[in-house]
Structure 1
Amino acid sequence: MRPETEMELADIVAGLNEPVRIQGGGTRGVFGPEPVLSTAGLSGITLYEPGALTLVAQAGTPVTEIEAALAAEEQQLAFEPADYRALLGTSGESTIGGVVAANISGPRRIQAGACRDFLLGVRYVDGRGQVIKNGGRVMKNVTGYDLVKLMAGSWGTLGVLSEVSLKVLPKPEAVAVLGMPVTQVSAAVQMLSAALKSPFEVSGAAYDPELGQALLRIEGFADSVAYRIGQLQRELSAYGEAAQIEEPEETWRAIRDVGRFEDKEGDVWRISTKPSDAAEVAARLEAKNLLLDWGGGLVWALVDAGSDIRARLGEFDGHATLVRAAPETIQTLGRLQPEPEPLASLTRDLRRKFDPKGLFNPGLMG
């Protein structure tokens, strides 16, 4: 099923009598029931006002199309959505609706915020086939229930997005990356934390144990970047000698897309935790490879196929998401972290309100 208009989407949903899998570009490797309800036919930028830093697009619009339109005006999606196609072995075109539905947010989240923080408004079809609109086209519009934030990260379980409104930001004039040799996760997190606490507006803080390097990104006007890079090198001199990395944008794209794991066998997990707990979490994982982002708050782990990382971690302050694995492993362990019962009960109640017939992506979020 591939509707071409919002009303056609609403008519299809109103007539559904069996569960469906909601799909944008099919790039996220989400399994589920057949048939598939695709939003790829709902495509196109419907409003773009560079002066107002506002863009409105239908949910099936390819992210590449949006990024090209923004680049022509020297603007960008500040939350830096990742491209996991190589990591997951998928094809197709990532869509803006899929990015919003999964709240995909890249390395710049530590400075700029997540996808949901740039979401101004949404239009979607609920489980009754009703078209719902919430939010607006300006950040100050907060009237009524904040369904905008609720839809971001709901993975299509509450409704099928048909249109999203986003705040965009200017592209930085210059980008520079510092690399510092580090051999221990704890030392790397300590250094990254010091950099993030500095006044030099670090927009990326990662650690690649395989390279043995902690990486810091600075963005902005060229003169400002040059000054802040120099100051940051001096500020961090107690941790070692930091040097600028060539091809900074390529370096950070590899971190954003977890390029280190693309051609390696095994399951891939994404663990969100407190940076101060990153070293202990990394030790418990018994991973073949690691990659840390968000100053240690995001830990990517490559482990042997079928490994139950949640069992290894036990109780910890955070959550573990199974990003890449065989379908049977995902079926057994679940893609998303199981919720505590009080929260799970609230989730079930919300789903019954939004999707009373249980049509959308059953089993994905409880």
Structure 2
Amino acid sequence: MIDLIPGSEEEAAAIIRDHAEGGRPIAICGGNSRAGFGNAVASEDRLRSAGLDGIVAYNPGEMVMTARSGTPLAMVEAALSQNGQMLAFEPMDHRPVMGTSGEPTIGGVFAANVSGPRRLVAGAARDSLLGVRFVNGRGEIIKAGGRVMKNVTGLDLVKLIAGSHGTLGFLTEVTFRVPPRAKTERTVVLSGLNDAEAANAMAAAMALPLEVSGAAHLPLTVTWKFLAGKLPEGEATVLRVEGMAASVDVRIEKLAAAMSAFAAVTPLDEPDSQRLWREIRDALPYADGTMRPVWRVSVAPGTGHQLVAALRLEAGVDAFYDWQGGLVWMRMEADPEAQLVRRYIKALGGGHATLIRASAAPRAATAAFHPEPEAVALLSRRVKERFDPAGIFNPGKMG
């Protein structure tokens, strides 16, 4: 595959116009840290954003940053850390679980709508995105949104681009909110709950006025992989509280008292809490050096454990839960079992299952993205035709 790395928005537009006129497909890529994700892309050329990097505008007082799409995520996070700010949606690093290298970019984060544990209270990546610049399939440079939320011009377009995985346009610049980072954090660990009991405990914790910012359940098969095996013995249901130190102390005490009705409670200090949630964010148990299929499943929080229980009866599956049980990370022992997974999701009220990792043969035979309802699929095709009439962007990528 030939890498095309434009140094400017205009150069990117010229490359895209040339491909559109010749009807030649082109793969869109950021830092290549999610190589192999999604459906296979049939293209000899790859358009990369690596040449479009740098922070364009950042005033910490405004809590808004504008950066070119190829800017390394590490550069963005370093600048934010220096000013006590953060990306509220806590983006995952896919490299460990996918076995890839490359450098995650801020444009790639928004193009894939990458969202971590704090998503259940802070929203997804797209909810922080205020404005974009991108090149459509005609080679036209488009600007949508603005630097403040009050400017809603093109806001729906902004949300549409986020999570489109490069099928609608080549992102060149993004503008996003950067709220203050919590001064401290603590986590309580509930030990010994099965999956169903943990779902009830997490629901109770989220209903309390204590601003829990993370709720995950780690079954016995994975607990030993977190914190280098330092978690208390047995299953672990973990609840995070963030904020000012004095407030966190009070809230964590109240949370521990309330949760003691469900299980034995153990507190984690800040360093262990931070490490644990990074490991949950990056699906550490399945960063195992294999290509065994890994699913990322989004369902209603109360049904995640039911899905896993049903699949355990028919297929080899290991799993753990984030987002109060609404995000299920599942590793299959052999085949992805896509039909089985999606049949049970439908039976339990619906959701989405995305194939994150698989070896070449099952990946080629499996639709990576969850099939859309007919009406939604029709709308998606119309949107795709409007943005990319020649159909050159990431052909085959969309599910």
- Determine if the alignment matches structure 1 residue 38 to structure 2 residue 48: yes
Contact 2:193–2:263, Cα closer than 8 Å, also in 1? no
- Determine if the alignment matches structure 1 residue 363 to structure 2 residue 396: yes
Structure 1 portions without partners, runs of 5+: none
Equivalent in the alignment of 1:174: 184
Equivalent in the alignment of 2:324: 295
Which of the numbers 17, 23, 27 marks the counterpart of 1:21? Answer: 27
The offset of 1:141, in angstroms, is: 1.2
Query: Secondary structure, in 3 states, of the residue corresponding to 2:150?
Result: coil
Aligned partners of 1:294 and 1:264: how far apart in 2? 25
Aligned AA (1:23): C
Change in 2 beyond 3 A, CA 1:144/1:95: closer
Contact 2:30–2:107, Cα closer than 8 Å, also in 1? yes
Count of aligned residue pairs for this structure pair: 366
Which of the numbers 382, 385, 392 marks the counterpart of 1:349? Answer: 382
The offset of 1:34, in angstroms, is: 2.1
- Cα offsets for 1:238-277 (capped at 9, x unmatched): 1012111241100000000001111164110011000111
Query: Secondary structure, in 3 states, of the residue corresponding to 1:15?
Result: helix
The offset of 1:166, in angstroms, is: 0.5
* Percent of residue pairs identical: 45
TM-score by length of 1: 0.97
Contact 1:125–1:160, Cα closer than 8 Å, also in 2? yes
Aligned partners of 1:78 and 1:204: how far apart in 2? 12
Which of the numbers 253, 260, 277 marks the counterpart of 1:230? Answer: 253
Q: How does 1:184-333 map to 2 (within 5 A)?
A: 184-209=194-219, 210=221, 211=223, 212-246=235-269, 247-263=272-288, 265=290, 266-286=292-312, 287-314=316-343, 315=346, 316=348, 317-333=350-366
Aligned partners of 2:154 and 2:124: how far apart in 1? 22
Which of the numbers 3, 11, 23 marks the counterpart of 2:14? Answer: 11
Contact 2:336–2:358, Cα closer than 8 Å, also in 1? no
The offset of 1:328, in angstroms, is: 2.3
Relative to structure 2, which stretch is displaced further, 264-273 or 101-110? Answer: 264-273
Aligned AA (2:302): S
Aligned partners of 1:94 and 1:274: how far apart in 2? 29
Query: Secondary structure, in 3 states, of the residue corresponding to 2:303?
Result: helix
Aligned partners of 1:348 and 1:200: how far apart in 2? 43
Query: Secondary structure, in 3 states, of the residue corresponding to 1:75?
Result: coil
Relative contact order higher in (CA < 8 Å, ≥ 6 apart): 2
Aligned partners of 2:273 and 2:357: how far apart in 1? 27
Aligned partners of 1:97 and 1:145: how far apart in 2? 17
Aligned AA (1:95): T
Equivalent in the alignment of 1:82: 92
Aligned AA (2:285): R
Aligned AA (2:259): L
Equivalent in the alignment of 1:141: 151
Aligned partners of 1:349 and 1:182: how far apart in 2? 50
Aligned partners of 2:341 and 2:387: how far apart in 1? 35
Aligned AA (2:167): T
The offset of 1:144, in angstroms, is: 4.5
| Runs of 4+ with deviation above 3 angstroms | none
CA RMSD of aligned residues (A): 1.2
Structure 2 portions without partners, runs of 5+: 224-234
- Cα offsets for 1:275-313 (capped at 9, x unmatched): 111121111233442110000000000102322134244
Relative to structure 2, which stretch is displaced further, 261-270 or 171-180? Answer: 261-270
- Cα offsets for 1:40-72 (capped at 9, x unmatched): 111000000100001000000000000000001
Aligned AA (1:304): E
